[in-house]
Amino acid sequence: MTLFNLEKNSYVPYSHKSEVAVVESKNGTWYPGVRIENISFPLTISAIQNALFCCLSEAEYPTTVLIKNPLKQKENLQYWQKQYGFTIADIRECNDIKMASVVRPVDDIPATLQKLLDDALVDESDFPVAALVETDAGFIPGVNIETPDWSRGLCAERIALAKAITYGLTDFKSLHISTRDGEYSSPCGACRQVMIEHVPHHPVHLYHADGSQSRHYTSDLLPYSFQSSSLQNKSK
Ligand code: THU
C-alpha cells in the first residue's frame, strides 16, 4: 500500500480535501489514517487522530507521526504531541512504508470481542467497549480510546469503521459491539450518525454484559436521519 494510494482512501465528500497521516509505533510498525468527514461536520475525524487511534487501538504506542505540511496543522498536532510525545516528520520525505495489517482472524465473535475489551484505553470512564466491523476482507477491530480532553476521544465503533475506511476495506457486511458493563450494549448517538453514512442498512449485532445478544439494523437505530442530500456543497 503506497502513501499515494492511502490518501485516496480519504472520505471527503464535503470538502474534497483529502488528508493522510502515518504513525510509527514503538515496535517499528506503521499505522495509517485518512481524513473521514461526516454529514454532521463536527464528527469528522482528522487523519492525525485516525492514525494515532489506529495505532493505540492495536495496543501499540505512537513514537513518530508523518504528515504533509506539519506546519499547516500545528494546532491539531500540538495537542496530540503533548499527549503522546511523538516526533513529527514530513511524509513527503518518506518512500514506501509497509503498513500493519488490521484484519483479524475471527472464529468466535463474542470471544474475540471479550478479549478486545482489554485493549480499550479508558482512563476517564473505566467503561471499555469493543467493536468488530465485518468486511469482505475479514474483521477489523476497534476499542474506545479516551484522552483527558473528552471531546477528542473516540468510540470503539467509530475507530473500527475509520480503520476499515483507511485501509480501503469498505465492502461492509455487519457490525458487532460489546461492552463489559452496563444494562445493555448500544451505540451512542454520534456513532449512529457515522454508522448511517457507512453501514446504513447493515445488521448491527449487540453483545450485552449479561451474555445475551440482539440484532438490529442501523436504519432502525437512527430513524428520520439527517441526509447528505440536504447539503448543497456535497458535489462541489
Ligand atoms: N462508548 C463507545 O465506545 N461506544 C458507544 O457506543 C458508547 C460509548 C465509549 C465512549 C467513552 O469512551 C465511554 O464509552 C463512555 O462513554
Find the CATH number of the domain harbouring 33. 3.40.140.10
Overall average pLDDT of the 205-223 stretch: 97
- Give the active site residue among 7, 19, 146, 157: 157
| Confidence check: pLDDT of 4 > 80 | no
| Domain count within the chain | 2
| Confidence check: pLDDT of 3 > 80 | no
* Ligand 1, atom 10, residue with closest C-alpha: 155
> Is 180 or 70 the better-scoring residue by pLDDT?
180
Same domain, 132 and 75: no
In the chain, pLDDT over 70 holds for what percent of residues? Answer: 95
* Ligand 1, atom 4, residue with closest C-alpha: 155
| Confidence check: pLDDT of 234 > 60 | no
Overall average pLDDT of the 174-186 stretch: 94
* Residue 124 annotated to the active site: no
C-alpha span between 157 and 194 (Å, rounded) = 9
C-alpha dihedral sign at 24, 27, 28, 31: negative
pLDDT value at residue 236: 45
| Confidence check: pLDDT of 39 > 70 | yes
Structural domain includes residue 70: yes
Structural domain includes residue 88: yes
| Confidence check: pLDDT of 95 > 80 | no
Nearest atom (ligand 1) to Cα of 143: 3
pLDDT value at residue 233: 59
| Confidence check: pLDDT of 79 > 80 | yes
Q: Which of 62, 93, 124 is the last residue of a domain?
A: 93
Question: What's the grid cell of residue 43?
Answer: 464528527
**145 CA distance to ligand 1 middle (Å):** 9
pLDDT value at residue 213: 97
| Confidence check: pLDDT of 227 > 80 | no
Range with lowest mean pLDDT among 72-76, 81-85, 102-106, 217-221: 72-76
**143 CA distance to ligand 1 middle (Å):** 9
3-class SS letters over 30-66: EEEEECECCCCHHHCECHHHHHHHHHHHCCCCEEEEE
With a 6 A CB cut-off, is 155 part of the ligand 1 pocket?
A: yes
Same domain, 75 and 147: no
**12 CA distance to ligand 1 middle (Å):** 25
Q: Which of 61, 93, 125 is the last residue of a domain?
A: 93
Same domain, 136 and 42: no
Overall average pLDDT of the 95-101 stretch: 85
Nearest atom (ligand 1) to Cα of 129: 3
Enter the pTM of the model.
Answer: 0.95
Q: Which of 147, 178, 140, 146 is nearest to 161 (CA)?
A: 140
With a 6 A CB cut-off, is 142 part of the ligand 1 pocket?
A: no
Same domain, 37 and 63: yes
With a 6 A CB cut-off, is 117 part of the ligand 1 pocket?
A: no
Q: What is the dihedral of CA 168, 57, 147, 1, to 10 degrees?
A: -30
* pLDDT band, very low/low/confident/very high, at 153 (cuts 50, 70, 90): very high
Residues of the domain holding 38: 3-93
Structural domain includes residue 129: yes
With a 6 A CB cut-off, is 156 part of the ligand 1 pocket?
A: yes
Q: How many CA atoms lie within 13 A of 86 on its CB side?
A: 28
pLDDT value at residue 231: 77
Mean pLDDT score of the chain, rounded to an integer?
A: 93
pLDDT value at residue 232: 67
pLDDT digits (tens, 9 = 90+) for 184-205: 999 999 999 999 999 999 999 9
Q: Residue 154 in 3-state DSSP?
A: strand
With a 6 A CB cut-off, is 144 part of the ligand 1 pocket?
A: yes
With a 6 A CB cut-off, is 57 part of the ligand 1 pocket?
A: no
Range with lowest mean pLDDT among 116-120, 179-183, 198-202, 207-211: 179-183
C-alpha span between 235 and 212 (Å, rounded) = 43
Structural domain includes residue 169: yes
Contact 142, 158 (CB under 8 A): yes
